[in-house]
Amino acid sequence: MMSGLKGKVAVVAAGHSRWGIRNATWRELAQEAGRELFKAVPDLDRKDIDSLFVGAAEPERFAFQSHVAPLVADMLGLKPWRVVQRTELACSSGQSAVRSAAMAVATGMSEIALCIGVEKMNLPNMAEAQTSMACVLDREFDGPAGASAPPFFALTAQRHMHEYGTTEEQMALVSEKNHENSTSNPYAQFQKPVPRDKVMSSRMVAPPLKLFDCSGITDGAAAVLVTSAERAKEFTDQAAYILGSGQSAIGGNLANLASWTTWEPAKIASHEAYKMAGIEASDLDFVEAHDCFSISEIIEYEDLGFCKKGEGGKFIEEGNPYIGGKIPFNPRGGLLGMGHPFGATGISQIAEVLWQFQSKVPKKRQVAGAELAMTHNLSGAANVHSVLVWGRAPTVGG
Amino acid sequence: MMSGLKGKVAVVAAGHSRWGIRNATWRELAQEAGRELFKAVPDLDRKDIDSLFVGAAEPERFAFQSHVAPLVADMLGLKPWRVVQRTELACSSGQSAVRSAAMAVATGMSEIALCIGVEKMNLPNMAEAQTSMACVLDREFDGPAGASAPPFFALTAQRHMHEYGTTEEQMALVSEKNHENSTSNPYAQFQKPVPRDKVMSSRMVAPPLKLFDCSGITDGAAAVLVTSAERAKEFTDQAAYILGSGQSAIGGNLANLASWTTWEPAKIASHEAYKMAGIEASDLDFVEAHDCFSISEIIEYEDLGFCKKGEGGKFIEEGNPYIGGKIPFNPRGGLLGMGHPFGATGISQIAEVLWQFQSKVPKKRQVAGAELAMTHNLSGAANVHSVLVWGRAPTVGG
């Protein structure tokens, strides 16, 4: 029954805009990513794209614009006639768009679907932009208490330090690693190394999180083309196939968190995805995970199944999540290195998986011989986690 | 190939909040609809709801809240672990949520999915609410010219009058009919008859559209439970089965409209849906269509395939779209009678289809012996149209 999407759906092409503080509107960014995708599949007739899925978290606030999917279609000269929608799941909106496209393809509702994730977050009025960013948390219950992402993840980090002895130095290693990875990513917002000392001495944002423990405020877009496993060969010799999917939501506001340091939905979502794929965490060759803050990646080592609870700090100290290590985390550069345009991040991660499988990334960040990968996003107060498992082949070991 | 969803997916239960100017938050409205749904399926264990799809157009503006899906889960005591997302397609967001749930069920990604559509539009500051409503049109290109929904549909009406001789009196008949239908709908915002004379003498909003040619500004929610055709019998003796689906997007801003009076995407979307269902428009027993303004329904008679181009006005004059007529339009009361909470409308229409098939609606609005129905939404500058075809049985004539 729950074979679900396994092996049926392929990502066959990707496109990416430059990320950073961009002098461009949200739809110009979407257009930039879409056009780059079209260059990768020159034989594709845009008229054959029957469906469009846009991932965006809050264009209503950042651009005073709803109904964004058809505007993207218009910018790219598309006239989809089967499924057209935007998906929103805050910082996981991009992956949600791809999951929706995958379901459309797996049912036969769509033959060729375009997914574009986009967010324009740097605005003339940055105070308003930052207030808007906070609406991914529970505004009604937690907003009055001052909750926004940095203090929430700061409290999470404090508690993890208290319970497990995790250190600020260990968190700095995550930031150093991901900034190092993004030095070889020309799309990244941050392209210079940030050594651990620089992380440690950067200005305090919300104790213990310092500036370089936090992902940036980013404008950007990314795009992938989704089709059936059967049709994938029309577009590429090497696609990325969906093998597993899981999403879990538990609780909405901070008062309902069962734990600050164990992300139960991460465990459930990854378990579901591994089960569908028929694999275990240890089978994966690399992971694109949601390091919105350095502490996030440390908890993800634990709750996605790569080390025991509380040992995430030690896990990076021992060199495991580096390229060439036991399980590379975020070869793309992560949110810390790439920046984090909410709706685009999940799709950029998937583009990285495709390009890794196609050996199209610079050698420095290439994960040699990767066959299996995972993309992971969290959203809100880490109360929702979303996971997709990807294979170089539509069957495991195939 | 494009059998797609046909016959695989069933709506088995529905719930509805009272619609109108409500002293309730958006999530209280969602909770109200969800709880009523649960009453309709008392044997359902909420723990078995594996997926949640929320339709909402712009909670970021109306409630300063993104990441709305998990907040709805939390309000209803749900912990979905397969798919969780919000879909946005402006005024068609509700139907998009149900289409997404249907795709999840058809792939086997979800076994039992809850769909909730919600919008809280009446705010303390109504000027801000109305400005926010306009962001379903193209703010960047058309906003500076003053475009919002009433003037757009007013221009559409003027042009239809010019090209085809459609009259204000014919439009008034649409409003009279739908208000008459909603007098038997206890959830409706408007429950009193509005005779054609009252429509004609109501105050001008945007010529030729008068107050009662326009749908209301409405707070409300609606919910449906979606499962596979195989499992439908666990919940009800009479489900509503999806037989066809189509969505078409052409153009984003007013400068790109090919025509003001022919809605090409309505023709394409309904054609796709009829083709998947294996039916023609004339096979349908009733239609829930998107009468955001009275002129909309007149154009829909034409472009959804019930009369020739330009004859929509005559079509209602001759009595066709009334209950008991050739093809009843909007027995529920339509947007004109029910009001129009953007994200909820599409799901309320589907609830009506289920309740009609189950003979649960008051006799006055019951369409006797209905076997086939259609739900239709438009969004933005009528540049996107969304259609689902429904059957009392999972096969046509079955």
Encode chain A in three state secondary structure.
CCCCCCCCEEEEEEEECCCECCCCCHHHHHHHHHHHHHHHCCCCCHHHCCEEEEECCCHHHHCCCCCHHHHHHHHCCCCCCCEEEEEEECECHHHHHHHHHHHHHHCCCCCEEEEEEEECCCCCCHHHHHHHHHHHCCCCCCHHHCCCHHHHHHHHHHHHHHHHCCCHHHHHHHHHHHHHHHCCCCCCCCCCCCCHHHHHHCCEEECCEEHHHECCCCEEEEEEEEEECCCHHHCCCCCEEEEEEEEEECCCCHHHCCCCCCCHHHHHHHHHHHHHHCCCHHHCCEEECCCCEHHHHHHHHHHCCCCCCCCHHHHHHCCCCCCCCCCCECCCCHHHHHCCCHHHHHHHHHHHHHHHHCCCCCHHHCCCCCCEEEEEEEECCCCEEEEEEEECCCCCCC
Coil/strand/helix, residue B326: coil
ipTM of the modeled complex: 0.97
Provide the β-strand partners of residue B54. B86, B116
User: Residue A397: its pLDDT value, please?
Assistant: 65
> Best of A52, A85, A89, A112 to disrupt the B interface by mutation (most B CBs within 10 Å)?
A85
User: B16, B160, B290, B340: which is the annotated catalytic residue?
Assistant: B340
Mean pLDDT of A280-291: 98
Contacts of A329 (CB under 8 A, 6+ apart): A177, A286, A287, A288, A289, A291, A297, A300, A301, A321
Secondary structure in 3-state letters for B298-321: HHHHHHCCCCCCCCHHHHHHCCCC
SS3 B37: helix
User: A79: which chain B residues are within 8 Å (Cβ-Cβ)?
Assistant: 248-250
Task: Quote the mean pLDDT of chain A.
Answer: 96
pLDDT of residue B321: 98
Q: Which of B70, B100, B135 sits opposite A252 (nearest CB)?
A: B70
Interface probe, candidates B27, B84, B250, B384, chain A, greatest A C-beta count within 10 A? B84
Contacts of A78 in chain B (CB under 8 A): 249
Mutate to test the interface with A, among B6, B27, B31, B66 (most CBs of A within 10 A): B66
Q: What is the model's pLDDT at position A255?
A: 87
CATH numbers and ranges of domains, chain B? 9-124+218-234 (3.40.47.10), 147-214+240-391 (3.40.47.10)
With a cut of 70, say whether residue A118 has pLDDT above it: yes
- How many pairs of residues across A and B have Cβ atoms under 8 Å apart? 237
User: Looking at the predicted structure, is the pLDDT value of residue A1 above 60?
Assistant: no
Rounded Cα–Cα distance for residues B172 and B2 (Å): 40
Q: Which of A105-114, A152-161, B246-255 has the lowest mean pLDDT?
A: B246-255
Nearest-by-CA chain A residue for B273? A82
Q: What is the pLDDT of residue B356?
A: 98
Are A52 and B380 inside 8 Å of each other by CB? no
At B3 the pLDDT is 67
Among A137-151, A282-296, A362-376, B262-276, where is mean pLDDT lowest?
A: A137-151
Give the DSSP H or E segment for B144: none
pLDDT at B1: 41
Give the residue among B37, B58, B35 at the shortest CA–CA distance from B343: B58
CA of A65 vs chain B CAs: smallest distance (Å): 5
CB contact under 8 A, A140 and B65: yes
Q: How many residues does chain B have?
A: 398
pLDDT number for residue A258: 82
Which pLDDT band holds residue A396 (cuts at 50, 70, 90)? Answer: confident
**B66 chain-A contacts, CB cut-off 8 A:** 57-58, 61, 88, 90, 135-136
Measured between CA atoms, how close is B299 to chain A, in angstroms? 20
**What's the pLDDT tens digit per position in A227-236?**
999 999 999 9
Task: Give how far B376 is from chain A: nearest CA, Å.
Answer: 14
Residue B397 CA to residue B395 CA, distance in Å, equals: 6
**CB–CB of B140 and A27 under 8 A?**
yes
Asked if residues A91 and A293 have their Cβ atoms less than 8 Å apart, the reply is: no
pLDDT the model gives residue A2? 56
For residues A312-338, average pLDDT? 98
What's the CA gap between A362 and A243, in Å, rounded? 26
Whether residue B103 and residue A99 make contact (CB cut-off 8 A), yes or no, is no
Q: Do B70 and A27 lie within an 8 Å CB cutoff?
A: no
What residue ranges of chain B have pLDDT lower than 70? Answer: 1-3, 397-398
Least confident of A2-16, A204-218, B222-236, B357-371: A2-16
pTM: 0.98
**Separation of alpha carbons B387 and B392, rounded Å:** 17
User: Would you say residue A253 has pLDDT above 80?
Assistant: yes
Which member of B2, B82, B87 has the closest CB to residue A108? B2
The sign of the CA dihedral B145, B151, B156, B158 is negative
Q: Whose CA is closest to B13, among B386, B360, B396, B395?
A: B360
| Rounded CA separation A165/B149 (Å) | 57
pLDDT at A91 over 90: yes
Across the interface, of B74, B89, B109, the residue whose CB is closest to A86 is B89
Q: What is the pLDDT of residues A239-251, one digit of tens each?
A: 999 999 999 999 8
